[in-house]
């Protein structure tokens, strides 16, 4: 079957070069010679088979149907419902670049699957425009039909030119400035309503009806999965209680299976950059009924979207940090498409004194920054000897700072100007954390806007101390 992929090099220019003798919907085509036709209301089926060898080729031209957003969303819907479901295979499509024919966007994808032990090629071409789509599917289990398939594809054209129209609904948004944009919410069963920035060292897998981030680490693969929305109780903690083990079905809390989910969990809550409430919880889990089974850290991130909740899940090794670093990065720019941004007063949240611990001695501070209402900031760094809170409070009280500058905001980007004239820019977010039954602590976190695309930085908690 490998030679069949030669046909994928055909472009829309070649497609237009052949005369058309038949039409169905917007599609004009030349029927392949020697094929029989089954004419149904929803689909035309051209087929040819050799009963002595069991080889066959089927061409399905489906009627026009309502679109689902972008051409990629139309293709994904058709791949699942017209290909995977009826022909009982699960493999994803190997995609060709998107193209345009007379204003209609189209995508082509193929896969090879096993049909009763025989390698079979499945090909789908989706045309998308004017809030509609039309699809052509081809199945063949032999190279002997290669010429028929090539000639048929080369004959395909569209009967209506919409190139002069401006349609934004069916335009795929591209990967720009490291941001993979997705389209507006269509329904609660569509996974493509997230807009994310892919973290450095991770890759995006957006094939089919799934959206995942993946990373190959030395000790195995990490996956962050973006799931469907479901109805919310209006309380994210209550939602977390029943969602966590719905997602991680067959698992249980590792240390004390009968304990509350929250008892030994790491909790985080805050607002996304759109102003939507989120709740993130991580806990150690192990497989039910396995005494010496693997222990992993499982994480669920919930985002409140009106009366529904969006769900993101991930797992990591018990001492791993890959997933937490990626989720921290995601939260700077995670959005739900179709939801208006709220105006968040980042400056009001920032005013005060923030410090982070050195980790060497309890209650020690490594770095302190004080932000004032007049747009000034002042910084202190840890001295060469071990010092504690009292030392820093005294320096802050007497304004004995090492350096100073000014700051302002551009949405969720903190811009800091040095007294020397230089500038640094950071994505910023404010959130609260707690472990188990301890009190919630207010935190702030920064990530450079001009970040290194080849590595992902660990995150530092800045706690408010004044």
pLDDT, greater one: 51 or 190: 51
* CATH tag for 175-336 (out of 3.40.1000.10, 1.10.10.1100, 3.20.20.140, 3.40.50.300): 3.40.1000.10
Same fold, 2-158 and 346-464: no
Q: Which residues contact 58 (CB under 8 A, 6 or more apart)?
A: 45, 46, 47, 137, 138, 139, 140
Answer yes or no: is pLDDT of 251 > 70.
Answer: yes
The DSSP symbol for 291 reads T
2-158, which class in CATH?
A: alpha beta
Model pLDDT for residues 105-131, shown as the tens digit of each residue: 888 899 999 988 999 999 999 999 888
pLDDT tier at 7 (50, 70, 90 boundaries)?
very low
Model pLDDT for residues 11-43, shown as the tens digit of each residue: 333 444 334 478 999 999 998 889 999 998 889
How many other β-carbons are positioned within 10 Å of the β-carbon of residue 13? 9
Task: Tell me the H-state helices in 385-439.
Answer: 389-397
The DSSP symbol for 327 reads H
Assess contact for 223 and 213: CB atoms under 8 A.
Answer: yes
pLDDT score, position 393: 58
pLDDT score, position 11: 37
pLDDT score, position 419: 75
- Write down the CATH number for the domain with range 346-464: 2.40.128.370
**325 phi, psi to nearest 5 deg:** -65, -40
pLDDT, greater one: 141 or 171: 141
Assess contact for 266 and 285: CB atoms under 8 A.
Answer: no
- pTM above 0.85? no
Domain ranges of the chain: 2-158, 175-336, 346-464
Stretch 144-171: mean pLDDT, rounded? Answer: 74
How many other β-carbons are positioned within 10 Å of the β-carbon of residue 351? 15
C-alpha distances in Å from residue 270, one per residue of 6, 97, 303: 52, 39, 10
Answer yes or no: is pLDDT of 364 > 60.
Answer: no
Q: Which helix (H) or strand (E) holds 158?
A: strand 157-158
pLDDT tier at 301 (50, 70, 90 boundaries)?
very high
pLDDT, greater one: 93 or 255: 93
């Amino acid at each position: 079957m490998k030679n069949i992929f030669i046909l994928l090099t055909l472009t829309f220019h070649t497609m237009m070069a052949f005369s058309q003798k038949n039409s169905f919907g917007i599609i004009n085509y030349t029927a392949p010679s020697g094929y029989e036709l089954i004419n149904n209301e929803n689909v035309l089926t051209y087929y040819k088979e050799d009963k002595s060898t069991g080889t066959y080729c089927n061409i399905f031209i489906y009627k026009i149907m309502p679109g689902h957003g972008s051409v990629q969303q139309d293709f994904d819907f058709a791949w699942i419902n017209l290909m995977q479901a009826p022909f009982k295979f699960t493999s994803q499509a190997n995609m060709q670049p998107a193209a345009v024919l007379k204003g209609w966007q189209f995508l082509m994808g193929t896969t090879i699957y096993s049909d009763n032990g025989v390698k079979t090629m499945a090909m789908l071409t989706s045309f998308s425009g004017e809030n509609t789509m039309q699809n052509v599917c081809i199945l063949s289990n032999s190279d002997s039909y290669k010429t028929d398939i090539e000639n048929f594809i080369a004959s395909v054209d569209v009967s209506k030119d919409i190139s002069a129209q401006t349609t934004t609904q069916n335009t795929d948004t591209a990967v720009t400035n490291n941001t993979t944009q997705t389209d507006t919410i269509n329904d609660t069963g569509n996974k493509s309503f997230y807009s994310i920035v892919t973290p450095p060292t991770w890759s995006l897998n957006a094939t089919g009806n799934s959206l995942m981030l993946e990373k190959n680490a030395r000790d195995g693969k990490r996956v962050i999965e973006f799931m469907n929305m479901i109805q919310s109780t209006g309380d994210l903690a209550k939602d977390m209680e029943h969602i966590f083990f719905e997602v991680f079905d067959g698992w249980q809390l590792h240390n004390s299976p009968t304990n509350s989910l929250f008892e030994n969990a790491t909790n985080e809550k805050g607002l996304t950059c759109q102003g939507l409430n989120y709740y993130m919880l991580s806990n150690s889990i192990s497989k039910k009924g396995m005494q010496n089974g693997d222990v992993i850290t499982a994480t669920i991130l919930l985002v409140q979207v009106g009366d529904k909740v969006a769900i993101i899940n991930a797992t990591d090794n018990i001492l791993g940090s890959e997933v937490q670093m990626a989720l921290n990065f995601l939260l700077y720019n995670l959005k739900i498409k179709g939801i208006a941004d709220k105006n968040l007063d980042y400056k009001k949240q920032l005013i005060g004194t923030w410090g982070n611990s050195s980790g060497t001695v309890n209650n020690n501070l490594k770095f302190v920054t004080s932000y004032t209402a007049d747009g000034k900031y002042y910084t202190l760094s840890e001295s060469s000897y071990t010092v504690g809170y009292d030392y820093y409070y005294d320096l802050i009280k007497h304004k004995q700072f090492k350096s100073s500058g000014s700051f302002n905001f551009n949405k969720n980007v903190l811009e800091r100007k040095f007294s020397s004239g230089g500038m640094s820019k950071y994505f910023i977010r404010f959130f609260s954390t707690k472990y188990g039954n301890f009190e919630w602590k207010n935190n702030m976190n920064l990530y450079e806007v001009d970040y290194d695309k080849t590595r992902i930085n660990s995150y530092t908690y800045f706690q408010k101390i004044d």
